Amino acid sequence: MFLLGSYSPSFAQQINTKPILSPWAENVDSNAPHPEYPRPQMVRGSWRNLNGQWDYAILEKGNGAPVTFDGKITVPFPVESYLSGVTKAVGAEKELWYDKVIQVSNTERKGKVLLHFGAVDWESEVFVNGKSVGKHQGGYDPFSFDITDFLAKGVDQKITVRVWDPSDKGPQPRGKQVNQPRGIWYTPVTGIWQTVWLEFVPTTYITHIKTTPDWDSGTFQFSINANTSDPTLTYKITAMDKGVKVAESTEGFGKESILKIPNPISWSLENPHLYDFEISLLKGKKVIDKVTSYGALRKVSIVYDSKGMQRFALNDQEVFHYGPLDQGWWPDGLYTAPTDEALAFDIIKTKELGFNMIRKHVKVEPARWYYHCDKMGIMVWQDMPSGDMGNRWEQKLGVIGKGTDRERTPESEAIYKKEWKAIIDANYNFPSIVVWVPFNEAWGQFKTHEISDWTKSYDPTRLVNSASGGNFELKGAKIAGDILDVHNYPDPVMPSAELFGKIQILVLGEFGGLGLPVEGHTWQEKDNWGYQSFKSKEELLDRYKILMKDLKDLIPMGLAAAVYTQTTDVEIETNGILTYDRKVIKMPVDVLKKLHSELYKK
């Protein structure tokens, strides 16, 4: 999003003021928040949620583990958030420490014990009973450690986590986080912000599942990994439709399996049909490990209209993509929704408002968010969180952005590439994701063609929007990626159909930003802003209707998608259709749904 002008800083909610809260905040059980199984694509029955009360301390960086602690923190809410119970800044010069004593019984230790983290921002080191079991860098991808050999005799085991996060003082992906929040830049998020959990697995166990649908042939391709290379093992995959077995396949371990689905049912926006999978690892006839998963038969591709313009297609049917820019921030939990019900709420409202797509903006959500999208039937454009920002860039709206890629250090490039790959790997199996977006508005954009080409080759099942609103560098006659995406506020525009319509999908990646602060529902009492601000819901709706008329007029000219800014207000930014606390919808749901339905008509 463009940053227009400068704005007074908006700091994290102060403990001595009354913060705005979402309706779910009062339902948070601080001893057991987010109790749901966190990994819907790979489910086992033997696990334990470690969310809840941990000891915490904030110390100078490099001073070692704390001897005493500052108090209690509610995991998995970031330390700056209201729901963490702490609401303190950390910064690049300090480290955040977590500590918790857990119990692991002898029965649970018969196989291996895995310690999982949904996400920790940014660098973390995990200790078990005082010994380091491993480090991880990356604020948006899940990771785990086998802690079996680090467990002490007896039941009690101590888990300690050290976290360092430089926010905007480092080159790492950080999205909208800054140390001095203002305008479109928000409060830093430090530490554990997704579920922490134990999993009890056999000595030999399945480690990873990759599921690739082939809609044309009605098949699923499976690639299964385990913590062994034993060639005598096999694995069996059973596909079920609403509890009824429809297909089954057994393959030698290490080989890919193709599962043919009879009378296949497509996943679509109107009927988001999902197949359930049971995957068993076998030694002869003995099942030594078993997990459950799910998948969907759907195809993401490009089609040409009667004028030769490129269009998005789902299952070979042309579809105009229209959805909100979804930041995924919460007034009480920042990066972390208060509850799973809250996590699903924004998606439910997005569907009710008549949108068919969500652009998840420079943030990656917990796995359950994508699971809800899969079940509800909404398409997702997934951004890579921006980092190491700064650029040389000049945009000419309606034509093309000109500029040069940012020069990043080898360390910075390596951090980006490692985490982008990890994000794709972690979210590859979710059918709702249809577009990858490596860069936004030239924020830290580098080696555009290399990154775009790598993304496309690594996952050829989806489309690539190389630089949403960013620096578009020509390479011969073709621009990097599948999509040419411009941003403009507030009115709709589109790239030149004459110049680019037959070689790229033409997209308006951000527009709108119509602001309306609603008294009693803002992050701060005054100095809130929008790209174009209004004083009443009536004025806001009238202006939105004009945007929809102008947007509709661009579609026959070649526009294939548009993204409206935005789902909710975020901190002092009041551009949301909903207020930041999700308690007020600023425009009538039925009116918006009717307006949006006009965009999808052929």
Same-domain check for residues 335 and 388? yes
Same-domain check for residues 80 and 153? yes
DSSP structure class, residue 385 = P
DSSP structure class, residue 365 = -
List Cα–Cα distances, 139 to 342, 419, 427, 444, 532, in angstroms: 22, 8, 15, 17, 33
96 domain residue, yes or no: yes
Maximum Cα–Cα distance for the chain, whole Å? 72
How far is the C-alpha of 536 from the C-alpha of 455, rounded, in Å?
A: 44
Looking at the DSSP bridge assignments, the partners of residue 97 are 57, 162
DSSP structure class, residue 14 = P
- Could you tell me the CATH number of the domain that includes residue 256? 2.60.40.10
Q: Quick one: how far is CA 488 from the chain centroid?
A: 24
Same-domain check for residues 412 and 540? yes
Same-domain check for residues 287 and 363? no
Same-domain check for residues 151 and 289? no
Tell me which of 295, 324, 343 is where a domain ends. 295
Same-domain check for residues 316 and 226? no
476 domain residue, yes or no: yes
Tokens found for residue 234: 């096999």
User: Whole domain around residue 257: which residue ranges?
Assistant: 206-214+216-295
What is the per-residue pLDDT for 10? Answer: 40
How far is the C-alpha of 103 from the C-alpha of 416, rounded, in Å?
A: 37
How far is the C-alpha of 443 from the C-alpha of 176, rounded, in Å?
A: 11
Same-domain check for residues 457 and 568? yes
27 domain residue, yes or no: no
Same-domain check for residues 305 and 276? no
30 domain residue, yes or no: no
Same-domain check for residues 330 and 288? no
Report whether 595 contacts 548 (CB < 8 A): yes
**Burial status of residue 440 (CB atoms within 10 A of its CB: 0-12, 13-18, 19 or more):** buried
pLDDT means per 10 residues, the chain with 602 residues, are: 36 55 96 98 97 98 95 98 94 97 95 98 98 98 98 97 96 95 93 98 97 98 94 95 96 89 98 98 95 98 95 98 98 97 98 98 98 98 93 44 78 98 98 97 92 97 95 61 94 90 92 96 90 96 98 97 98 96 98 98 86
11 domain residue, yes or no: no
Element (H, E) at 542: helix 537-554
35 domain residue, yes or no: no
- Which candidate, 508, 385, 479, 379, places its Cα nearest to that of 435? 379
Same-domain check for residues 460 and 584? yes
Report whether 432 contacts 407 (CB < 8 A): no
- Could you tell me the CATH number of the domain that includes residue 426? 3.20.20.80
Element (H, E) at 416: helix 410-427
26 domain residue, yes or no: no
- Could you tell me the CATH number of the domain that includes residue 87? 2.60.120.260
pTM: predicted TM-score of the whole model, two decimal places: 0.95
What is the per-residue pLDDT for 141? Answer: 98
Same-domain check for residues 287 and 323? no
Number of domains in the chain: 3
Tell me which of 273, 295, 317 is where a domain ends. 295
Same-domain check for residues 596 and 493? yes
Tell me which of 249, 279, 295 is where a domain ends. 295
36 domain residue, yes or no: no
